[in-house]
């Protein structure tokens, strides 16, 4: 019983956290673009290219 309550509280907490994070990103698009630029600089866009190729294959075939 206690485990179910803790799991439900965790779900609500994570959900609220994602919603607040989305509002912050929508409210500050310039700062979000800086963070994306840093992310793509570190990974050199390899992850993004692989992701789009994988999505294209799944959607087209």
pLDDT in tens, 37-53: 787 777 765 556 666 66
Instruction: Quote the pLDDT of residue 51.
Output: 64
Integer Cα distance of 19 and 25 in angstroms: 10
1-33: b (≥16 Cβ within 10 Å) or e: eeeeeeeeeeeeeeeeeeeeeeeeeeeeeeeee
Integer Cα distance of 58 and 46 in angstroms: 18
Whether the pLDDT of residue 4 is over 90: the answer is yes
Whether the pLDDT of residue 15 is over 60: the answer is yes
What is the mean predicted confidence (pLDDT) over 47-61?
60
pLDDT band of residue 3 (cuts 50, 70, 90) is very high
pTM of the model: 0.51
| Burial class of residue 51, CB neighbours in 10 A (0-12, 13-18, 19+) | exposed
């Amino acid at each position: 019983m206690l485990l179910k309550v803790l799991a439900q509280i965790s779900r609500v907490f994570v959900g609220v956290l994602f919603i607040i994070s989305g509002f912050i990103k929508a409210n500050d698009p310039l700062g979000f673009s800086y963070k994306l630029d840093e992310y793509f600089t570190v990974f050199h866009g390899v992850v993004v290219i692989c992701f789009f190729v994988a999505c294209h294959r799944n959607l087209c075939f």
